[in-house]
Chain A
Amino acid sequence: MKMIEMLVKVFTFFRDGFTQMTVGRTLWKIIFIKFFVMFAVLEVFFFPNYLETNFETDKQRGDYVLEQLTRTSATN
């Protein structure tokens, strides 16, 4: 019971805090826009993870990187 009361108090604390915000509203809007732009636009279209996208397993990724580290030795 005490646990529930505590959770309700915490919920009310955050709810009241968020509803009474003034500058905070604008800041949250900025934060959400930023996250949207980053994760839905920049990451998807401009910054794909190269190894995650091109290889399926860690073994393949490790082999690829090892290949990159040793591809120069023949010409050195």
Chain B
Amino acid sequence: MPKKYHVHTKATPLDLDYIFKFQIVRRENCINCGKCTKVCIYEAHKRRIDDPRKMADPNTVVCRNCFRCIQECPRGALEKSLNKDFLNIGGAYWKADMLLTLWKQAEDGKVPVTGAGYRGPFTGTGFDSMWTDMSEIVRPTRDGIHGREYISTSVELGRKLNHLEFGENGRLLSTIPRTIDLPLPVIFDLPEAGLSLNVKAAMIKAAVDLGTCIVLPVAQITADFERSLDNLIPCLAPGEIERHQALLEKARMVAIDYSGERPEDFPAVKARIENVCEALTILRLPAVEAMEQTVSKLAHSGAEIIHVIADYRGRELGGSSTSTPRLIKDIIRTVHMRLVADRIRDEVTIIASGGIAMAEHVPKAMLCGADLTAVDLPLLIAIGARLYEQPERFLVFPPGLEGISVEILTQRIVNLMGAWHSQLLEVMGAMGIREARRLRGETGRAIFFEEIDNDTFGKLFRKKEVASI
């Protein structure tokens, strides 16, 4: 049994003005009786230090929405509402609550656990329109994340042969292609442009600590970072291959921006890469209409790893005005099914990215058919960034970010990924799947809303209407 993969999390708060959800205002008819101080178990209400006869303004950052102060104030002098900042952050995809929980996970590295049942909508779009399955009784030797059993979250990148060929005397003729093992089905995608050096350094260090990789534009890989080259994936255009020979010779993987290139040109590009280095090639492809055909052609022409990239809300790029853009969940499913139909699925690794925003998106993307995922925005949210979707995609970094140490920023990214890793174990444990590799395309362990709703309510209610006509 391989050594158990462990992410070392550690509480790492940032001294920032966090956005909070609930705003409490004390009205003028407060009589400073101090009842709120007695009833609040979170210490949101205190007397003023300079003048203890009066109540201080409520510290609503700590408010957990229990309503005790509201309901027990003898004068009804306290008013609560949703904080304006909270209402403004995020958007339809990156919901404000999602940002709060990402910040929390980056701070403590723990699986978010709360009381009371699920509070959200019944179903939604994309990843919200599926559930993961579980096994009830029949399965020995596991205790979820608290248990004795080893659940492996590692995945392999690279080409696998469809079959082996043997010559006379049983001699193996096939050359087994090299693959790379990552302990976590997550890589870090190209960082935002214009990040300060400490942030970039923290992302690289976090990738190293976690044993995963980060895609970096080749121009940004300075001599400082070359020590971490095992965990760096230089990203470049096909025309730049020869120019960066020295770097590529030392890299394990190289990412080629293949947007705008033709699939039939790939064998030539591959030959040029093989000419300068032994790195595995990741082809970066924007998720556009009918991309499954491009993926299929590339896989047939020998592509090893294909990275399907949707927009930051997990939608198809450059969608036509006539059709609604597909969502990453459905794009992955289509790509996967196309490769299965072509009988070439095992020969190519699919990375999915765009809209991977929560821990649950990792196993869900894999159930839909991705081998692994790539994340970008959650890493920035981990270091305290605020994301706005309206009026357009906009990131606000915490003030003084440049001055925060690389260690602290690294730990926050590690914490977030540690929390995601634990949550992946929870979901896999419940499913009874012990190897992350077996999640891929395992739709038998998923429940899709459209299918089950139609199978249940569609059958019950639609037919009857037709019959009665």
- Real complex partners, A and B? no
A contact residues vs B (CB 8 Å cutoff):
none
List the interface of chain B (C-beta within 8 A of A): none
